[in-house]
Chain A
């Protein structure tokens, strides 16, 4: 399939036509205004789109997409831009379609526990809207107060509480998508339809496609009953190995906590300096374990967890006594990335996955990596899922540090794949992890994926130059603005 080999040019006529579709106030062009859209939360590669449109209806999205099809222009769907892998980078420019002005909750069906929302609706708004009725939307990425449901569908987002409940694909029943030729198609369960849909599970095949199959405009999500009670504990350990063994032992005891999150010493210190929760500064690892569900029997389960922590030499186990304390603890965890600003001007985060039983080995490898590359690497991660989040600290003003940070990241992800895991558990491939695709998958696997791409987007125009080895990189196009890597 041909790729565009020059940066895209969008003519004044096309800009006028876009203005006619969505209104002049919903079209952004000119370098100054476009700067916000030069990257997502992966800031190592940057590139401006030619133009950004902010449609307000599915019809407008379809009209914009059709116009782009007529002019053979790349389209880049975008939610809040909180992705971490360059997933919404306009590699060769193009027309960015931002869904942030389609953010309404359209319908809530309490009896059937469903909500129909526009793709730009922020993840956390759904739970906020239904919690008075004892319901919630389960996937809770750390960026949930900003990220959109449409973006969650594109990246199959997870979060700390997916250990027990699964990820986006397990909670999105169906959605409306504008195909790259402008056709509007509903995939999966309809708002008034049954949950089983005949034929191929195209809904499932689209979720996690990183915006490469079309522009999702409306999403039907499943709501579930909120737990009656939470028991949130914090175990303080001398080292990561003891904490990792605790995770395995809890699972082996037949318990599935709502979440098990680990923070190592460096990150605990940074979080403590930023939020003053009362984390011990000299502990090798802090493990947050959250049990949830019916109140009946939860105390007994919590006792067993405490017992297992103590057996693994926990120095202390603290229980959140009030809901307030629980929220504080989670705030610290979810804002851990933010606390890193105190340690370093920049960080590169990875989200590789290893089988849970390989976590201690992985943590030892990361320590060795940190020494080898002379960079600090704090860790905060979803221990229950084996989903690591090493934060490689560097200073972008030092080219050598940038190089070493990238190398350290590569070493870690290669090791994840070697251990039978994956290069990405949550953030996706985007432009950042393209090189790992050929390591994790065979040529045949990749061809089968390319086949799927062609089924949805035969012209490779929707979010192009992502995912697959051989894709164009920003550096190939002498971009107008890019921070060196």
Chain B
């Protein structure tokens, strides 16, 4: 069953009904719930309905020179609900973190139609358990998020990107380590090879954001490390424009080069500072040990009839 509510009340009723009849929900289309409810620029917070796209939200925020410091792929199609459900992020994650660092309040309709809130609209809040975190990356498996409140950041005065082509992964590895040991504080630290060049070169990209003085000082420092070529995030757009299945790996940041070497030359983008690798080709075997029994209890407790999608693991 696909739900297309035109307001929260309809969604509450539809879920209550589906829960009573134990009908599976494949998808909830929230595109009708797309308002920016309240942007309090002086508090640097915004409350938005989860059907709004990230681009629509950013456009609104930019009027006050603020933004939700997230840059996942395809923001013009990505809804706020999907952003929370899938916990996606982009290259600036090294500097700004992920959605769990910005979400300060949430309104969720649980599987049986119960409306719950967690957090609030203030940036610091420890009243009650932090239920919000359960919904981030939950793939809609324990409730439907309908409203979210985020803390925001001011848009940086200036942003610049520079890159170096390295002739091997080993050279890139040493360069990344040099960046991490240096005094610069890039918001992007990426390593990529989105198509295999003849000379097997890999590219290391740095992004700087902040005041003009901060960015220019860092550009000079980066040049000393060999970052002399101007760059942009075009590689990011190119990589995601290709609809080939992408796999994600999360490893100890210092081990990315070792992991990439086992990808058999498949195209990849790595968030070198975070240890996140997106790659094409064959998925690597997973060996993560997760507290699965507790996760099963979470699913059973909040969606006892299992009408919402299962958590993909």
A residues within 8 Å of B by Cβ? 109, 111-113, 134, 155-156, 158, 162-163, 166-167, 169-170, 185-187, 192-205, 207-209, 225, 228, 248, 251-252, 254-256, 293-297, 300-301, 353-357, 382, 385-387, 420-429, 433, 436-437, 440-442, 444-449, 451-456, 467
Contacts and interface: CB of A to CB of B under 8 A. Distances in A.
B223 interface: no
B230 to A, nearest CB: 20
Contact of B154 (A156, A256, A293, A441): A256
Contacts, number: 241
22 contacts: A111-B253, A112-B275, A162-B124, A186-B289, A193-B250, A194-B252, A196-B87, A197-B290, A200-B311, A202-B134, A252-B41, A355-B121, A382-B124, A386-B43, A387-B124, A424-B126, A425-B124, A427-B126, A433-B127, A448-B116, A452-B298, A453-B129
A194 B297 contact: no
Nearest to B115: A444
Nearest to A426: B126
Given A167-B124, A197-B250, A449-B129, A205 B115 contact: no
B211 A300 contact: yes
B128 A198 contact: no
B240 interface: no
Contact of A199 (B101, B128, B217, B313): B313
B174 to A, nearest CB: 12
A214 B304 CA distance: 24
B218 interface: yes
Contacts of A424: 125-127
B276 interface: yes
Given A356-B42, A386-B43, A429-B128, A422 B65 contact: no
B124 A198 contact: no
A386 B122 contact: yes
B134 A426 contact: no
B134 to A, nearest CB: 5
A437 B250 contact: no
B116 to A, nearest CB: 5
B216 A296 contact: yes
Given A112-B254, A166-B101, A208 B122 contact: no
A254 B154 CA distance: 5
Interface in B72-104: 87, 97, 100-101
Interface string B31-43: 0000000001111
B110 interface: yes
A204 B120 contact: no
Best-buried of B101, B136, B213, B295 by chain A (most CB within 10 Å) = B213
Nearest to B132: A204
Given A201-B136, A445-B117, A256 B42 contact: no
Interface string B286-309: 001111101101100110000000
Best-buried of A112, A113, A187, A437 by chain B (most CB within 10 Å) = A112
B276 A423 contact: no
Nearest to A385: B124
Nearest to B121: A420
Given A296-B216, A467-B128, A442 B117 contact: yes
Contacts of B288: 193, 197-198
B153 interface: yes
Contacts of A207: 130, 133
A451 B302 contact: yes
Given A198-B288, A200-B295, A295-B217, 8 more contacts: A195-B274, A201-B134, A202-B298, A294-B183, A296-B216, A296-B218, A385-B122, A420-B121
Nearest to B185: A225
A413 to B, nearest CB: 10
Contact of B42 (A197, A353, A357, A385): A357
Interface in B20-38: none
A144 B42 CA distance: 30
Contacts of A186: 289, 291
B137 interface: yes
Contacts of A111: 177, 180, 253-254
B193 interface: no
A228 B131 contact: no
A432 to B, nearest CB: 12
Contacts of B154: 254-256
B214 interface: yes
A32 B106 CA distance: 47
